[in-house]
């Protein structure tokens, strides 16, 4: 199949899927508090995506039952939303979600603190978000794929964290997962040359302890091998002549002053 290069007008069209994906993720984040179940958040997200004119990109994907992946604490990715998973003070929750609009897919994730979170978890969240921005900033024409992975890995490992290898970012467009794979590890100046028109989901998954993971018997959920917490941040990014452009954002959104 190869890497599908998008035209400028196709990238424009992808902004609407990105905007709705970002909007529902932000609103879902406002629900995160002790006592709510991940199924309640999932149902909210599905309703919001549909009300905005989109289709939940995750629901039914390879048989996945939810509109979000909800992964708590040592859960790395792909947690199935459940009425039995009720958030507690001090947890961290990764919400990964996306919308399909006019056939284009948006994909994004954020890890939220639940109530009062201990400092070591706060640091994991802060550093993993920084890893994502470092990866995004390396997504520019003339760089290579390995520059993205290197940017993420060097920052995470400097902080003593483990970089997940088994799950990676990806190209995205009319399909949620397109070529290329976008690893969160790698060497500078290696891999394919990045070109304008590539659209990538950049999504570091960073563990407080070992990088090693373990798949769970439900066939979806992935946890850290040592049981220590893991964080996950993701944005859909277009590579343009002028550098990286985040598509999963809300250009019209004004953050309330608090
Ligand atoms: Mg993704």
pLDDT at 253: 84
Ligand 1 centroid from CA 227, angstroms: 23
56 CA to centre of ligand 1 in angstroms: 13
Q: Which of 111, 105, 106 is nearest to 28 (CA)?
A: 111
226 is in an annotated binding site: no
Share of the chain above pLDDT 90, in %: 97
Integer Cα distance of 152 and 234 in angstroms: 12
CA of 200 to the centre of ligand 1 (A): 9
pTM score, two decimals? 0.97
147 is in an annotated binding site: no
d(CA 235, ligand 1 centre) in Å: 8
- Mean pLDDT to the nearest integer, 183-190: 98
> Is pLDDT above 70 for 71?
yes
Q: Compute, in angstroms, the gap from residue 34 CA to the centroid of ligand 1.
A: 26
Compute the distance from residue 150 Cα to the ligand 1 centre, in Å: 19
What's the confidence (pLDDT) of residue 255? 80
Burial environment of residue 10 by CB neighbours within 10 A (0 to 12, 13 to 18, 19 or more):
middle
84 is in an annotated binding site: no
Average pLDDT value for the chain: 97
Mean pLDDT computed over 106-113: 98
Ligand 1 center to 40 CA (angstroms): 22
Q: What is the pLDDT averaged over residues 194-212?
A: 98
From residue 122, alpha-carbon distances to 118, 200, 216, 231 in Å are 6, 27, 26, 10
Give the pLDDT of residue 258: 64
The answer to whether residues 98 and 58 touch, using CB atoms and an 8 Å cutoff, is yes
Average pLDDT over residues 73-79: 97
Q: pLDDT-derived band of residue 3, with 50, 70 and 90 as boundaries?
A: very high
Residue 30: what pLDDT?
Answer: 97
Q: What is the mean pLDDT of residues 209-220?
A: 97
Q: How far is the CA of 254 from the centre of ligand 1 (A)?
A: 26
What is the 202 CA–ligand 1 centroid distance (Å)?
Answer: 7
Specify the pLDDT at position 252.
Answer: 81
pLDDT, residue 82, reads 98
Residue 203 is assigned to a ligand binding site: yes
What pLDDT was estimated at residue 128? Answer: 98
Per the listing, tokens 């490992």 go with 157
Ligand 1 center to 258 CA (angstroms): 31
Checking if the pLDDT of 224 tops 80, the result is yes
Q: 254: pLDDT confidence band, cut at 50, 70 and 90? A: confident
């Amino acid at each position: 199949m190869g890497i599908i290069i998008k035209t400028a007008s196709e990238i424009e069209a992808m902004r609407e899927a990105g905007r709705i994906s970002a909007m529902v993720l932000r609103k879902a984040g406002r629900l995160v508090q002790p006592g709510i179940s991940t199924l309640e958040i999932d149902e909210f997200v599905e309703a919001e995506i549909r009300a905005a004119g989109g289709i939940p990109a995750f629901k039914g994907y390879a048989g996945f039952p939810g509109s979000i992946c909800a992964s708590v604490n040592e859960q790395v990715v792909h947690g199935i939303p459940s009425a039995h998973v009720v958030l507690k003070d001090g947890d961290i929750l990764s919400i990964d979600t996306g919308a399909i609009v006019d056939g284009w897919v948006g994909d994004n994730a954020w890890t939220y603190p639940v109530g009062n979170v201990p400092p070591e978890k706060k640091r994991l969240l802060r550093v993993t978000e920084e890893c994502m921005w470092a990866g995004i900033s390396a997504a520019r024409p003339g760089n290579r794929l390995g520059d993205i992975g290197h940017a993420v890995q060097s920052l995470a490992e400097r902080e003593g964290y483990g970089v997940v290898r088994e799950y990676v970012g990806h190209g995205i467009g009319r399909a949620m997962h397109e070529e290329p794979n976008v690893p969160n590890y790698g060497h500078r100046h290696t891999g394919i040359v990045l070109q304008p028109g590539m659209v990538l989901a950049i999504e570091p998954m960073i563990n407080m302890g070992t990088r090693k993971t373990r798949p769970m018997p439900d066939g979806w959920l992935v946890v850290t091998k040592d049981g220590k917490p893991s964080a996950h941040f993701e944005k859909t990014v277009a590579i343009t002549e002028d550098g990286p452009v985040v598509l999963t954002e809300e250009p019209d959104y004004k953050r309330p002053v608090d």
